[in-house]
């Protein structure tokens, strides 16, 4: 959860849900008008397995360079490439840059050109 606070989220609510196997910790994190629900993965695993796992999500940004610089200044060092990619023929032009979240999820910063 500290990772998501570091990248600009603020905790909206926390809860715990019991199921037959164990108790799951849940959190809702707000990012500029939308909520992201985080579910703690099973002990000893990095990436949740099974139905509903999300290995990747994209966040649209207005200024990719500034957003990446802000994240790096906040201590995010898990960018998967030294530079952004520019794809002029994809969706009419876009640039993106990926970094890894604490559970192995790929987070894409995406700016349309």
DSSP 5-28: HHTT-EEEEEEEEE-SS-EEEEEE
- How large is the average pLDDT for residues 4-17? 82
This model's pTM is above 0.85: no
Query: How far apart are the C-alpha atoms of 55 and 57, rounded to whole Å?
Result: 7
> For the segment 25-68, what is each residue's pLDDT rounded down to a tens digit?
778 888 877 777 777 766 655 555 555 566 778 888 899 999 99
What's the pLDDT score for residue 49?
Answer: 54
Please report the pLDDT score of residue 11 as a whole number: 83
CA–CA separation, 96 vs 50, rounded Å? Answer: 28
Are 65 and 71 contacting, i.e. CB atoms less than 8 angstroms apart?
A: no
Shortest CA distance to 48 belongs to which of 72, 71, 21?
21
- Which pair of tokens denotes residue 27? 């959190």
| Averaged pLDDT score across all residues of the chain | 82
Dig out the tokens for 67 from the structure: 């957003």
Q: Looking at residue 86, what is its pLDDT?
A: 95
User: What's residue 66's pLDDT?
Assistant: 95
| % pLDDT > 90, the chain | 32
Q: Is the pLDDT of residue 10 over 80?
A: yes
Sheet of strand 106-112, all strands in order from the earlier edge strand to the far edge: 56-60, 106-112, 94-100, 85-87
């Amino acid at each position: 959860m500290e990772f998501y606070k570091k990248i600009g989220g603020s905790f909206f609510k926390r809860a715990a849900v019991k199921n037959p196997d164990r108790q799951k910790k849940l959190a809702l994190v707000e990012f500029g008008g939308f909520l992201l629900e985080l579910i703690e993965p099973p002990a000893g695993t990095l990436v949740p397995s099974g139905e509903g796992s999300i290995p990747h999500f994209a966040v649209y940004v207005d200024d990719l360079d500034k957003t990446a610089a802000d994240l790096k200044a906040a201590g995010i060092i898990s960018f998967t490439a030294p530079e952004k990619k520019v794809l002029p023929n994809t969706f009419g032009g876009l640039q993106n840059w990926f970094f890894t979240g604490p559970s192995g999820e790929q987070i894409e910063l995406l700016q349309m050109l």
